[in-house]
Amino acid sequence: MPTTNPIPCPYPLSLLRLKMKLKVVFCWSDISGYMAACWWKLHETAEIEVFVVAFQALTETAFGDRLMQGIPCRLLDLQERQDPQLVKQLVIAEQPDAIVIGGWLHQPYCKLTATPEFQKTAFVMGMDTPWQDTWRQRLAPLVLKSYLQRMDRVVVTGERSWQYAKQLGIDPARIDRGLYGIDYDGWVPMYERRSQSVWPRSFLFIGRYIPVKAIDVLVSAYQAYRERVDRPWDLVCCGQGELKSQLAGQPGISDRGFLQPSEMASVWQSAGAFILPSRFDPWPLAIVEAAAAGLPIICTDACGSGVEVVRSWYNGLVIPEDDIAQLTQALLNLHDRHAQLPLWGQRSQQLAAPYATQVWVDRWRSLLQQAVNPQFTATSVQRVSTT
């Protein structure tokens, strides 16, 4: 009888695998509104299936667990997050093609790289730490060598963390920018609504009330600003922390406490400018969110995301950290240029656009596919998927 020869496949099996849905497990620390928006958007795509292992919200300054509604996940309590065996079993049960780990500090996550069951699994590491040339950072390549060698891709936030990744000895060809994204479409309408009336005369600070956020500098500079103008703008603060008492009873300062994202819309809407005077802040998402909301921004050189999102005298002002006089002058500059603030806010939105969730998804879809199948590019993937 004649034999039937199978039709030869024009693509190798590894390439055909890209047409299937990739399973990705994110091993994360604290959840947040911006990461939940990104995970949800990624999970909606036809190519990626997402599962998140993260820390359960346990404090008054934590984002609520309800942010994860609709996202396949397992949130760990204080005891569970320290149990490497539990973490391993949770991830094994998902049979992932790729595992994403946020950094190198949480050992139960890091130990996954040495798990035999994941010998053929792709690993991706996220990092936001900036290069500061400290002795600890100079030793890091030696301490982290075996862990970093297991990573197929490393995703950084921006230029400063890219520099650190390079110092760690990671091949630039394996480094991607764009660790974080935001629900840009949700923020954009705030600018239009704000522009429909007189631009608000109000400053806004959002962050933890702790020394590294320079609450003392903020309060001192704001009071000095009030003394130099006839009709000072209010300063609204949203957050929680050990320095909360420094805000109490200060003229013009309103402390709204820690608010969940769903409670923040009116606060963003009534703000005229955003301030973040941090002494150290690797890549604060609050700056990106403020820009997406269409606000002019004052931040310090210590704020890593300011490198990508803030341009002095274009959409805001970048000043030295720990400098009360400079922050006072920045407040005065915005006060005196009230008429220009709508234009500055419009420019802020343009600079925040690259961090929209859809852009984030496009970026991550490509890098995850390359992590699992490094011999293929995003272009070749698109070519096969349309054949």
pLDDT in tens, 214-227: 999 999 999 999 99
List Cα–Cα distances, 378 to 18, 114, 142, 190, in angstroms: 10, 29, 33, 34
Q: Which residues have CB under 8 Å from 57's CB, separation 6+? A: 30, 31, 63, 64, 65, 75
Which two structure tokens, joined as six digits, stand for 217? 């500098």
- CA terminus-to-terminus distance, the chain: 34
3 state DSSP class of 322 = coil
User: Tokens 């921004």 label which residue?
Assistant: 297
377 pLDDT tier (thresholds 50, 70, 90): low
Q: pLDDT (tens digit, 9 = 90+) per residue, 24-49?
A: 999 999 998 899 999 999 999 989 99
Distances (CA, A) of 126 to 146, 177, 230, 304: 16, 10, 48, 15
Answer yes or no: same fold for 15-181+356-385 and 184-354.
yes
Find residue 254's DSSP bridge partners. Answer: 236
Q: In what order do the strands lie in the sheet with 273-276?
A: 253-255, 234-238, 202-206, 273-276, 297-300, 316-319
Among candidate residues 41, 382, 374, the one with its CA nearest the CA of residue 176: 374
pLDDT digits (tens, 9 = 90+) for 90-145: 999 999 999 999 999 999 999 999 999 999 999 999 999 999 999 999 999 999 99
- Which residue, chain included where needed, has tokens 């915005």? 334
Q: In angstroms, what CA-CA distances link 369 with 25, 47, 255? A: 14, 9, 45
* pLDDT tens-place string over residues 305-331: 999 999 999 999 999 999 999 999 999
**Token pair recorded at residue 295:** 């606000």
CATH superfamily of 184-354: Glycogen Phosphorylase B; (3.40.50.2000)
CATH of segment(s) 15-181+356-385: 3.40.50.2000
Query: Which residues lie across from 127 on neighbouring strands?
Result: 156
Query: Taking the domains of the chain in order of start, what are their residue ranges?
Result: 15-181+356-385, 184-354
pLDDT at 376 over 80: no
Predicted local distance difference test score (pLDDT) of residue 374: 81
Q: Would you state the structure tokens that stand for residue 58, as one six-digit string?
A: 């346990």
Of 242, 180, 178, nearest to 207 by C-alpha is 242
User: What values do phi and psi take at 87, rounded to 5?
Assistant: -60, -45
State the chain's mean pLDDT as an integer: 91
The dihedrals phi and psi of 93, each to the nearest 5 degrees, come to: -60, -25
- Tell me the pLDDT tens digit for each residue of 152-174: 999 999 999 999 999 999 999 99
Give yes or no for a contact between 225 and 235, defined as CB atoms under 8 angstroms apart.
no
Q: How many residues does the chain have?
A: 387
On the question of pLDDT at 235 being above 60, the answer is yes
Look at residue 74 and give its three-state secondary structure: strand
DSSP string covering 195-235, please?
HTSSPP-EEEEES--SGGGTHHHHHHHHHHHHHT-SSPPEE
- 176: β partners: 155
Q: Rounded to whole angstroms, how far apart are CA atoms 31 and 37?
A: 11
280 contact partners, CB below 8 Å, separation of at least 6? 212, 302, 321
pLDDT digits (tens, 9 = 90+) for 323-363: 999 999 999 999 999 999 999 999 999 999 999 999 999 99
Q: Nearest Cα to 154, choosing from 135, 167, 137?
A: 167
C-alpha 206/C-alpha 26 separation (Å) is 27
